[in-house]
Amino acid sequence: MMRIITGKHKNRKILTALKGNNAKNFRPSTEKTREAIFNIINSATFEIENFMKSANVLDLFCGSGALGLEALSRGAKFVTFIDKEPSHIAISKQNVENFNELTNSEFIVCDATKLKSNYKKYNLILLDPPYNIPNIITSSLKALEEGNWIDNQNFIIIEHAKRDKFVLSPEYEILSSKVYGSSALTICRFLGHK
């Protein structure tokens, strides 16, 4: 059973149950990983509460929506949940509705590697793609750049398998890279096209 770690929804349960083919590539972020993500953001910003209050958050490959929900619990202004699996969006929406956060959220069913141009920019982008799919991280970052999704002031958190290899272009500054068992976190900033 998964729960929110801290904030206004602390200890509330997150629904994660999917069955059959709907469970394919469904791997919710663990509490340990979620806590690590927000601790790293905290150490990078020094004013996590102020940052989160103005944060437009993008939860890409949202699955159950656990990362976006954690951001909302910590005071995020708005979260957009994206996943190409309608069943994942459905469970994310159910979780958000259970937490009474629908007015602070939106849901989009689409492939994160094929994002269209967007009018809204995000300063906290959470990528948690399925593990061991070649080029999925690089393709998703390229789609975010080309679609104009990334705010000038941004943090991009990528959760990936420890053995997944990807190369960030010079437009990215790596702030932190940590390994947690078989998973790893890469935290970076997009600096814009040089």
pLDDT attached to residue 29: 64
Question: For residue range 35-61, what is the model confidence (pLDDT) as tens digits?
Answer: 777 777 766 654 556 777 888 999 999
At 48, give phi and psi (nearest 5°).
-60, -40
User: Tell me, what amino acid is at 39?
Assistant: N
Question: For residue range 152-164, what is the model confidence (pLDDT) as tens digits?
Answer: 989 999 999 888 8
Question: For residue range 99-137, what is the model confidence (pLDDT) as tens digits?
Answer: 999 999 999 999 999 999 988 999 999 999 998 888 999
Report d(CA 107, CA 92) in Å as an integer.
8
CATH of the domain at 79: 3.40.50.150
Would residue 32 count as lying in a domain? no
* % residues pLDDT > 90 (the chain): 56
Would residue 111 count as lying in a domain? yes
Would residue 77 count as lying in a domain? yes
Tokens linked to 127: 């990528």
The domain total for the chain is: 1
Report d(CA 82, CA 52) in Å as an integer.
19
Q: Residue 2 pLDDT > 80, yes or no?
A: yes
Report d(CA 169, CA 175) in Å as an integer.
14
Would residue 58 count as lying in a domain? yes
In this structure, of 18-27, 124-133, 162-171, the range with the lowest mean pLDDT score is: 18-27
Would residue 36 count as lying in a domain? no
pLDDT attached to residue 44: 62
Would residue 24 count as lying in a domain? no
At 186, give phi and psi (nearest 5°).
-120, 120
pLDDT attached to residue 20: 47
Give the start-end residues of each E strand in 2-142.
Answer: 2-3, 13-14, 56-60, 78-83, 105-109, 122-127
Domain that holds residue 114: 2-16+47-149
CB 55 within 8 A of CB 76: yes
Residues 148, 185, 3, 44, CA torsion sign: negative
Q: Residue 16 pLDDT > 70, yes or no?
A: yes
What is the reported pTM?
0.89
Would residue 34 count as lying in a domain? no
Mean residue pLDDT of the chain comes to: 86
- Sequence-distant (≥ 6) Cβ neighbours of residue 18 within 8 angstroms: 26, 87, 88, 91
pLDDT band at 176 (very low <50, low <70, confident <90, very high): confident
Would residue 171 count as lying in a domain? no
Nearest to 26 by CA among 60, 66, 64: 64
pLDDT attached to residue 162: 87
- Sequence-distant (≥ 6) Cβ neighbours of residue 11 within 8 angstroms: 3, 4
